[in-house]
Amino acid sequence: MGTQFAGRVAIITGGANGIGRAMSLAYAEEGAAVAILDREVEAMNETAEMVRAKGGTVLAIAADLLDRAQIVDGFARIERELGPAYILVNNVGQTARENFSQFYEAKIETLDFVIGVSLQTTLICSRQVVPGMRERGEGKIVSISSDSAINGDIGCVDYAAAKSGVLGFTRALARELAPMRINVNAICPGATKTRAMDRIPKDAYERARNAIPMGELCDPEDIANAAIFLSSDKSRFITGQTLMVNGGRVFY
């Protein structure tokens, strides 16, 4: 176990599965007390057990982050039970998945859903921690965007719009918080080995892999490592930036 985040609280939204699970484990391994907010209780409890098995501290809170009241309650509970947040990772987000379509036939409810889950959650969760971070004059916010925001992939208009919004949010908030030495950065994962990729047809999966110059999909741990760096003292002078972690598929 590392100690770089000993005594610190790290909040991971959507920390139950995939990239979020890798992050929950990685932050705990670096000594943080980890708070997970997720709506999938079974997977979240499994992740929490994995953290505890490594000797980590974890608070798992069942919450649907599309419900603002649940966000407010969840963050208040974290502060009460673990203490103030030093790190927030805005990881919740997704494409339209089963409602995936080209824009001309997209349902308006699907557009609303994708913007809600992939952008608004980031703003509203961040709003819960920023006042305290400002008062204390410390904190790290890392938000997960996507390389689809930069590449503009077909069938992802809503998702690209939301994830580009995450990048604009990151820059503007970084500028507001730089005088308080609070770092705000974003990561754009490329295609990553999580269930999100398992759901797509085999030929689309092959195409995604073939488009990556390094010849393989990203591991969730690759994204977690980038987040740890952006939360660490080693990145103290990096803010408002977008870090591409995609095996070379898209440059920014």
Ligand X SMILES: NC(=O)c1ccc[n+]([C@@H]2O[C@H](COP(=O)([O-])OP(=O)(O)OC[C@H]3O[C@@H](n4cnc5c(N)ncnc54)[C@H](O)[C@@H]3O)[C@@H](O)[C@H]2O)c1
Q: What is the binding site for ligand X (CB under 6 A)?
A: 14, 16-20, 38-40, 43, 63-66, 91-94, 117-118, 144, 146, 189, 191-192, 194-197
Nearer to ligand X, 31 or 119 (CB): 119
Compute the least distance from the CB of residue 54 to ligand X, in Å.
Answer: 19
Q: How far apart are CA 122 and CA 165, in angstroms?
A: 10
Least Å distance, CB 198 to ligand X, is: 9
Minimum CB separation of residue 31 from ligand X in Å reads 23
User: Which CB, 180 or 196, lies closer to ligand X?
Assistant: 196
Decide whether 33 or 65 has the Cβ nearer to ligand X: 65
One DSSP character per residue, 94-144 reads ---GGG---GGG--HHHHHHHHIIIIIHHHHHHHHHHHHHHHHT--EEEEE
The edge-to-edge listing of strands for the beta sheet with 57-62 is 57-62, 33-38, 9-13, 87-90, 140-144, 183-189, 242-245
Distinct helix (H) and strand (E) counts, the chain: 10, 7
Closer of 31 and 114 to ligand X (Cβ): 114
For residue 144, give the nearest of 186, 88, 85 by alpha carbon: 186
Contacts of 212 (CB under 8 A, 6+ apart): 190, 191, 246, 247, 248, 249
Q: List the catalytic residue out of 86, 104, 159, 252.
A: 159
Residue with tokens 């010849």: 215
Q: Cβ closer to ligand X: 91 or 170? A: 91
Distance of CA 251 to the CA centre of its chain: 20
Shortest Å, Cβ 16 to ligand X: 4
As measured in angstroms, the least distance from the Cβ of 35 to ligand X is 13
Instruction: At 249, list the tokens.
Output: 């598929």
Q: Which of 95, 70, 118, 91 minimizes the C-alpha distance to 12?
A: 91
Q: Note if 159 is an active site residue.
A: yes
SS3 20: helix
Catalytic positions, written as ranges: 159
